[in-house]
Amino acid sequence: MTGTNRVKLKPGDTIGILGGGQLGRMLAMAAARLGLRCQVFSPDPDSPAFDVVLNATCAEYADVEALELFAGDVDVITYEFENVPSAAAMVLDARRPVLPNRKILETTQDRLAEKDFVTRLGIGTAAYADVTSVASLREALFRIGLPAVLKTRRFGYDGKGQAIIREGDDIAKVWTSLGTKSAILEAFVPFEREISVIAARSADGQVECFDVTENEHRDHILKVSRAPAPIPDDLAEEALHIAGKIATELDYVGVLAVEMFVLANGTGPKVLVNEIAPRVHNSGHWTLDGASVSQFEQHIRAIAGWPLGKPVRHGQVTMTNLIGDEINRYEDWLTVPGATVHIYGKGAPKPGRKMGHVTEVVRPNGK
């Protein structure tokens, strides 16, 4: 739909959110504080976001009638995950503004399209190649070298749909185990650390970034984020510049995250883009308690056509994910001085499932 830039909500208006996970839940909570209502669309009856909104649509993304009714109930539509099926986005887009727009989903749903886009902007990524067969994998490995990371082009998350290829590995076996003909091979980046930038962009082009965050993964799942990342100012500026440029070039409205690798000194370009998430992001959860305005509120403001906040960080912030069984220790966290506990209200803890998080802020005066 053209005219997405004309969205201007008033308190009492309703935002439609596709996806009912913890990100949708935290978006709806941020919207409520600003006097905006949300209606959540999710196929999963146990969606944690359903608990915090009055109206929910529990239906499949292929259910056109449900999508149409949902669109009729809301003033603007956004999403909490990037794998919104394009057919569903089209149905909605014909009826209500969808922000960020549908074309952005096409770029960010596909690791190859995403890397081509970043490369066209003159921003560095790991060397990469399109891979569609074991023969093209061998060719790509010859060019890119070992170790390398083979990833499915679509639907990967938390390290799923990827395999590291090392010297001596059985290439044919790795290819078969990936289970797709649509893949990308990337050079393995010997990074010093991983960082991300959460950027918000308004419909009139205002960009506000949060401070660069350092991210520590365990078993490919984000475990701890720290803001600000302990990196030199020039590197931080470069990272912020990259995120701002990506948001602007995508003509983005809302919050996006750019994950990056920082390379050790003297090993080439210092910052490489790993991936773009066209949504609020786990590495920005610290902003809920550690900044004057959170990533969730910035996203809501942007899609509402409201001015963005100028985020001020309250101190050194650490966010720790509670993954799987770790949630069972929530009572211990509740009594840690200075800790703020978030529990997502999901069902049973499963290994690798993100169940909650804890934020700790050390203020500049050490308190």
Ligand X SMILES: Nc1ncnc2c1ncn2[C@@H]1O[C@H](COP(=O)(O)OP(=O)(O)O)[C@@H](O)[C@H]1O
Closest CB to ligand X among 38 and 163? 163
Residue 8 interface partner, choices ligand X, Mg ion, none, CB cut-off 5-8 Å depending on type: none
CB of 107 to ligand X, least distance (A): 15
Residue pair 314/361 in contact by the 8 Å Cβ criterion: yes
Q: In terms of Cα–Cα distance, which of 88, 86, 125, 96 is closest to 16?
A: 96
Smallest gap from Cβ 82 to ligand X, in A, equals 10
CA distance 244 to 77: 23
**CA 242 to each of CA 172, 197, 213, 246, 362: distance values in angstroms, whole numbers, following the listed order:** 37, 9, 14, 6, 28
Nearest approach, Cβ of 275 to Mg ion (angstroms)?
A: 5
State the DSSP string of 278-306.
SS--GGGTTHHHHBSS-HHHHHHHHHHTP
- For ligand X, which is the closer residue by CB, 81 or 188? 188
Size of the site for Mg ion (CB under 5 A): 2
Cβ neighbours of 309 (radius 10 Å): 15
Q: Which does 181 bind (CB under 5 to 8 A by kind): ligand X, Mg ion, none?
A: none
Residue 157 interface partner, choices ligand X, Mg ion, none, CB cut-off 5-8 Å depending on type: ligand X
Restricting to residues 259-318, name those near Mg ion by CB under 5 A.
Answer: 259, 275
Q: Could you tell me if 146 and 310 are in contact, meaning their C-beta atoms sit under 8 angstroms apart?
A: no
Count of residues for the chain? 367
Which residue, 75 or 259, has its beta carbon nearer to Mg ion?
A: 259
**Sign (positive or negative) of CA dihedral 55, 25, 212, 239:** negative
Closer by beta carbon to Mg ion, 75 or else 82: 82
Contact set with ligand X (CB under 6 A): 126, 149, 156-159, 186, 188-189, 194, 217, 220, 259, 274-275
CB nearer to ligand X: pick between 1 and 235: 235
Provide the binding-site residues for Mg ion, judged by CB under 5 A. Answer: 259, 275
